[in-house]
């Protein structure tokens, strides 16, 4: 699968599920956004708390997610539903972790299970949690941008080596585009790290040159994997 297809399928995780790059920006400028405003809150929430916990755990293989902390989305932000033992944190992200100009920024169908390893849980995840808090508080996009950036400068430590995230859920709905899903890992590194991204034949796709709110510039790389978290072959899944 080439990097163009990857960027089309993956809504970004930050996560997310959240960076489609220049292709999405161009579409946002040339086509009417299908989701111009936030939908009613109930459309973003999962009424069954246990179902959201189970979905969050599908982000990573069971050997990792079974001992991870699990967050669920409440009316005011993410809440700890299960205490963890291994330093990983799993949650189901929503569409507002896309770039701010992404036409699916308010897509209520988005369900993006992620599982952050300990370094990413300390340095990337707080920005995601803060963004959700500001969204659910009814802030405008400009206020969300300002709030996340202020929070990042004051409260978030510098990126730690080895930060990465699992997005291997067969049950994810990342975007209305394509087959809606892609099994992949995301790696966070200081900007300027050379991984051979986006070159012919390379499985590595660069998604974003900066994580919004991070205290220093971070590149996020996505690497597709062959299997879903349950061990089955990661062929395209249509929802």
Residues 21 and 207: beta-carbon distance below 8 Å: yes
Predicted pLDDT of residue 222: 85
On the question of pLDDT at 15 being above 60, the answer is: no
Tell whether 236 is covered by a domain: no
Cα separation, 145 vs 93, in Å, equals: 17
Q: Which residues of 15-28 are buried (b: 16+ CB within 10 A; e: fewer)?
A: bbbbbbbeebeebb
Sequence-ordered list of residues with C-beta below 8 angstroms from that of 113, at least 6 positions apart, any chain? 55, 56, 57, 58, 59, 90, 91, 92, 93, 167, 169, 171, 172
Tell whether 239 is covered by a domain: no
Which residue has tokens 């036409």?
A: 103
| Residue 18's pLDDT band (cuts 50, 70, 90) | very low
On the question of pLDDT at 43 being above 90, the answer is: yes
Tell whether 98 is covered by a domain: yes
Cα separation, 140 vs 91, in Å, equals: 24
Predicted pLDDT of residue 211: 77
CA atoms within 13 A on the CB side of 94: 28
- Identify how many contiguous H helices and E strands the chain contains and give both numbers: 7, 10
Which residue has tokens 């061990």?
A: 231
| Residue 236's pLDDT band (cuts 50, 70, 90) | low
Residues 126 and 159: beta-carbon distance below 8 Å: no
Cα separation, 239 vs 236, in Å, equals: 10
H-assigned helices in the chain: 3-9, 22-30, 49-57, 62-65, 118-123, 125-136, 141-155
| Structural domain span for residue 152 | 3-224
184-190 vs 69-74, strand pairing mode: unpaired
As for how many domains the chain has, the answer is: 1
Cα end-to-end distance, the chain, whole Å: 19
Q: What is the mean pLDDT of residues 173-193?
A: 86
Cα separation, 42 vs 46, in Å, equals: 8
Residue range 94-150, pLDDT digits in tens? 999 988 888 999 999 999 999 999 999 999 999 999 999 999 999 999 999 999 999
197 or 104, greater pLDDT: 104
pTM of the model: 0.82
Residue range 48-107, pLDDT digits in tens? 999 999 999 999 999 999 999 999 999 999 999 999 999 999 999 999 998 888 899 999
Tally of residues, the chain? 239
Classified as helix, coil or strand, 52 is helix
Tell whether 238 is covered by a domain: no
11 or 163, greater pLDDT: 163
């Amino acid at each position: 699968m080439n990097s163009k297809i990857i960027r089309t399928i993956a809504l970004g995780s930050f996560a997310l599920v959240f960076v489609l790059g220049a292709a999405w920006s161009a579409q946002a400028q040339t086509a009417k956004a299908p989701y111009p405003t936030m939908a009613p809150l109930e459309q973003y929430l999962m009424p069954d708390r246990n179902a959201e916990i189970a979905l969050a755990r599908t982000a990573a293989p069971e050997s990792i997610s079974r001992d991870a902390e699990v967050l669920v989305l409440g009316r005011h932000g993410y809440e700890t539903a299960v205490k963890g033992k291994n330093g990983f944190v799993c949650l189901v992200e929503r569409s507002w972790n896309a770039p701010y100009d992404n036409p699916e920024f308010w897509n209520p169908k988005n369900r993006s299970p992620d599982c952050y390893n300990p370094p990413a849980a300390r340095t990337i995840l707080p920005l995601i949690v803060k963004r959700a808090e500001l969204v659910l508080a009814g802030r405008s996009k400009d206020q969300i941008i300002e709030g996340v950036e202020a929070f990042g400068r004051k409260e978030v430590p510098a990126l730690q080596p080895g930060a990465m995230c699992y997005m291997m859920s067969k049950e994810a709905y990342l975007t209305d585009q394509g087959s809606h899903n892609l099994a992949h890992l995301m790696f966070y590194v200081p900007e300027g790290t050379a991984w051979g991204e986006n070159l012919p034949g390379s499985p590595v796709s660069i998604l974003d040159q900066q994580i919004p709110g991070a205290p220093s510039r971070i590149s996020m790389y996505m690497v597709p994997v062959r299997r879903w978290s349950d061990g089955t072959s990661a062929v395209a899944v249509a929802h």
